[in-house]
Amino acid sequence: MSKTVITVGLGSCGIAAGAAKTYSQLELIKKADNLDFELKKTSCVGMCFREPLVEISDETGTWLYGPVDVARADEIVEKHIKNFSPVQEYLVLSDSVSTADRSFLEGQVKIALRNCGKIDPESIDEYEAQGGYDALRKIVSESLSPQEVVSMVSASGLRGRGGGGFPTGQKWNFARHSQASQKFVICNADEGDPGAFMDRSILEGDPHAVIEGMIICGYAIGASQGYIYCRAEYPLAIKRLAIALSQARQRGYLGKDPMGMDGFFFDITIKEGAGAFVCGEETALIASIEGQRGMPRRRPPFPAHSGLWKSPTIINNVETLVNIPQIVLNGPEQFASLGTDNSKGTKVFAITGKIRNGGLVEVPMGISIRDIVFKLGGGMSGNKNFKAVQLGGPSGGCIPEYLANTKVDFDSVNATGAIMGSGGMVVMDESTCVVDIARFFLDFTQKESCGKCTFCRIGTKRMLEILTRLTEGEGCEGDLEKLEELAIHIKDGSLCGLGQTAPNPVLTTLKYFRSEYEAHIHHKKCPALLCKKLLTYTIHQEKCTGCTACFKGCPADAIISTKRQPHSIIEEKCIKCGICFTKCKFQAILIS
Amino acid sequence: MRVQKISPANTEAPSVEPVDLSLMDGLIKSYRGKKGNLIPLLQGTQEIYGFLPREAILKLCSETGHDLSELYGVATFYAQFRLSPTGKHLIKMCHGTACHVLQVSEVTEGILDYLEIQEGQTTPDRLFTFETVACLGCCSLAPVMMIGDEAHGKLSPQNALKIVKDIRRNEISLLTSPTI
């Protein structure tokens, strides 16, 4: 009889949902009732919408439960462990029973996330048991030369997953052929796109895979030192990376002659970022590691020729690097068999916003946006209709519902005016105002602009001012043309990706939702009923019972009240705070 | 823009509470002469004091060879560094995209109204500092805030306010309860 194992998902998102409390509760019950099961930790499996997740695996198979709070943990132990009767009510997945949540996994192909939510990220043994460090072993046993490794990566067709989509093998080739006594590998873990969290999940869930990818890169280009530049906002990721690094050193994967690779030395240091979105840009990131303000510089020279301390440097994103061991181990052909002509392999997307099943999904390139939203994501979270997705964060753009059959690969997404970016996909429904979204992103890029280039520094501010005016009902004729003109100049006049892409959210929403902008300007109306200052509150005379609840709540004395008579709102006095709407129990407050 | 101006109050007036500069000695020793040590030095200093006291920056300047302008230049560039102390409870409200779409701004407004401060400020009783951050990376629990090390997800204006009020109530009862 196999031993029963209970595994709790303890990624940052799980912990935020209360997984640590669930874990302690299980520990407590196990001790108190002297139960015979093994309690284990893992990381995020991607099904964030059901966190905290608890998996029970026993002789009947595996049973995934969620959300499991402390009370439910008690109940599940009582029923499932003590009485061998699975609790259908909280069941997310099982081998034997079909559940609605299964659709979330159908169509997913896990390469980058293969170990996330499966192994204990703090155990090198569990990583090795899944074939961890076997790619390094293969390089040694088959005596693959650095050039052969580079060629494998090139043949796989892997393109950078951080946003740019530059062919990884080509980049490595540049660095490999740069003559220098010292070269560097940097893992870009400065995931700053608000709405993307796949890198965090990988770092927390499978840190050894990132390390293995970096060692292979170091070997391929001839580097001796690696850096992981990780956001300080990801303390758990940093902690698990540090644990993994010391384990890898102990086992001889890092340091002098790893795995007996003669004459090769490689070690890795963690550098904590200090909070600046622009440091995701490679030259700014380098400046930051060097201890300066994170300001980008002109390219060329590209970092592969002259990067950190003027040495050839490869900067790869987390998701790019975790694909490397699998490419080396299984051969480039297997990776290249997935995806489309110009975009090979899989891509991880973080689906969030107005979506039922928010979380992380890894799908082959070329799947449609509609499939991600409706098949995997389960459709909208509320009862409103799907309106658009924002892809690529502040550098990306809005793709409207009627283009939802667009395939997610680098070229198809770029053709819409959005970008793949790091894979943040924010789903919006009819109650999301695109002008407000554009304003939100401009507010972000304007604050995060490092200030070096004038157009980015001042241009984003002017754009933000116009957008803010629009959402406040102060828009005027010519504003849209001004936005477009500024957008062109900012794109042309900025050194780095931040400025060059900052206008994208505005340009794409203008392209696909121009009438919504026009409604804000000409009719002073927000079609999504979101921009507060553009709303009109009225009271439905038949529905109003004259209960005075709205009158008592109104902070502006804007409601005329006679007891048991229908009330009314004085529009001039109304400050549009919405309190009357929340106070009314009879749905008598109308918003238009 | 990332670069922030520092108010004269920060550079001229000495810190309110005395700063024990000897706490930094180990840190300075461990990074002495290392390439790219400026940011780790500032991070380490902030870890010790909770913020970057003027005296500590001056000490870094005299002992590590970094120019004062360089130190302040970096300290004012990155979001992580603070030049003034925070309240006992640091509220980090996530204003990432997912949180924004799920109307976090109403949650923020409610808490700021209750605390009677503005973004980035500390309450006069020094219990709370309120900040907005770009993304905490737990988007599927949006809207999210962190108070200290604890994350609170699926916020509404009501339940978020309750969390903050409960903390204040606990603090007040701690103050008023007789010590045994």
CA-nearest of A292, A244, A253, A432 to A355 is: A432
B157 preceded by a cis bond (ω within 30 of 0): no
pTM exceeds 0.90 for this model:
yes
**Minimal Cα distance from B147: which residue of A?**
A16
- Residues whose CB falls within 8 Å of the CB of residue A534, separated by 6 or more in sequence, listed in order: A471, A472, A473, A520, A524, A525, A526
The interface residues of chain A toward chain B in range 38-57, judged by CB-CB distance below 8 A, are 48-49, 51
CATH code of A434-522, in short, is 1.20.1440.230
Q: State the fold for domain A536-591.
A: Alpha-Beta Plaits (3.30.70)
In this predicted complex, what is the ipTM?
0.88
Residues 296-315 of A with CB under 8 A from B: 309
Whole-angstrom distance, CA of residue B16 vs CA of residue A590: 53
* Helix pair angle (A460-471, A479-492), 10° resolution: 160
CATH 3.30.70.20 occupies which residues in chain A? 536-591
CB contact under 8 A, A233 and B136: yes
Provide CATH 3.40.50.11540 ranges for chain A. Answer: 124-336
Contacts of B69 (CB under 8 A, 6+ apart): none
Fold annotation for B89-176: Glutaredoxin (3.40.30)
Could you write out the DSSP letters of every residue in A258-298? GGG-TT-EEEEEEEE--S-GGGGSHHHHHHHHTTS------
CA atoms within 13 A on the CB side of A86: 22
**Chain A hits for B139, Cβ within 8 Å:** 48, 195, 197, 350, 352, 358
Instruction: Inspect the interface and report whether the beta carbons of A194 and B101 lie closer than 8 Å.
Output: no
Architecture field, domain A346-429: Roll (3.10)
Which chain B residues are Cβ-neighbours of A430 within 8 angstroms? Answer: none
Q: How far is A387 from chain B (nearest CA, A)?
A: 13
What length does chain B have? 180
* pLDDT, tens only, B84-142: 888 999 999 999 888 888 889 989 999 999 999 999 889 999 999 999 988 887 887 88
- Say if strands A397-400 and B128-133 run parallel, antiparallel, or are unpaired: unpaired
pLDDT in tens, chain A (592 residues): 568 999 999 988 888 888 999 999 999 999 999 999 999 999 988 898 899 999 999 988 899 998 999 999 999 999 999 998 999 999 999 988 888 888 898 889 999 999 999 999 999 999 999 999 999 999 999 999 999 999 999 999 999 998 889 999 999 999 999 999 999 999 999 988 888 899 999 999 999 999 999 999 999 999 999 999 998 888 899 999 999 999 999 999 999 988 888 889 999 999 999 989 999 999 999 999 999 999 999 999 999 999 999 999 999 999 999 999 999 999 999 999 999 999 999 999 999 989 999 999 999 999 999 999 999 999 999 899 999 999 998 999 999 999 999 999 999 999 999 999 999 999 999 999 999 999 999 999 999 999 999 999 999 999 999 999 999 999 999 999 999 999 999 999 999 999 999 999 999 999 999 999 999 999 999 999 999 889 999 999 999 999 999 999 888 899 998 888 999 999 999 988 888 988 899 999 999 8
The answer as to CATH 3.40.30.10 being correct for domain A5-102 is yes
Domain spans of chain B, in order of start: 8-75, 89-176
**Average pLDDT, whole number, for chain B?**
88
CATH architecture of A124-336: 3-Layer(aba) Sandwich (3.40)
Amino acid making up residue A469: R
Amino acid at A206: D
Chain B residue with the nearest C-alpha to that of A393: B97
